[in-house]
């Protein structure tokens, strides 16, 4: 039986870990997790915040996930949207489509779609 999710993985191009760190660590405030020694040579980065764990793995050739995406929960949706917009990351609102949920999505530096959700107040 499934009891939870350990992590979600997104793909990224080789050699762009600093951009991943700036977006996921810097803008989103996630903590970078050390990769196990056996996996580190493959490249990529791992991040966590609360119960959310996100792995970015190198994929060649790289194609961004434009529809499939993680939906990350936040208690500060408006502040997060403002920070992303200020950093030049366009945000698309989708409020009202899911009852009781406020949400928007943006794209990471590699073109992967990332959604952010907060319970409506």
Distances (CA, A) of 109 to 26, 63, 95, 100: 12, 12, 24, 29
Q: Which domains are present in the chain?
A: 8-119 (3.10.180.10)
Yes or no: say if 58 and 43 are a contact pair by the CB < 8 Å rule: yes
Per-residue pLDDT of the chain (121 residues; tens, 9 = 90+): 999 999 999 999 999 999 999 999 999 999 999 999 999 999 999 999 999 999 999 999 999 999 999 999 999 999 999 999 999 999 999 988 999 999 999 999 999 999 999 998 7
Q: Report the predicted TM-score, pTM, of the whole model to 2 decimal places.
A: 0.94
């Amino acid at each position: 039986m499934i009891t939870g999710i350990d992590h979600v993985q997104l793909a990224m191009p080789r050699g762009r870990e600093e951009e991943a760190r700036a977006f996921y660590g810097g803008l989103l405030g996630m903590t970078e997790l050390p990769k196990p020694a056996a996996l580190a040579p493959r490249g990529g980065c791992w991040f966590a915040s609360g119960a959310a764990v996100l792995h970015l793995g190198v994929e060649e050739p790289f194609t961004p996930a434009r529809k499939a995406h993680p939906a990350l929960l936040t208690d500060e949706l408006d502040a997060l949207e403002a920070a992303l917009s200020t950093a030049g990351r366009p945000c698309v609102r989708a409020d009202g489509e899911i009852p009781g949920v406020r949400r928007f999505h943006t794209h990471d530096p590699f073109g992967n779609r990332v959604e952010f959700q907060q319970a409506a107040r």
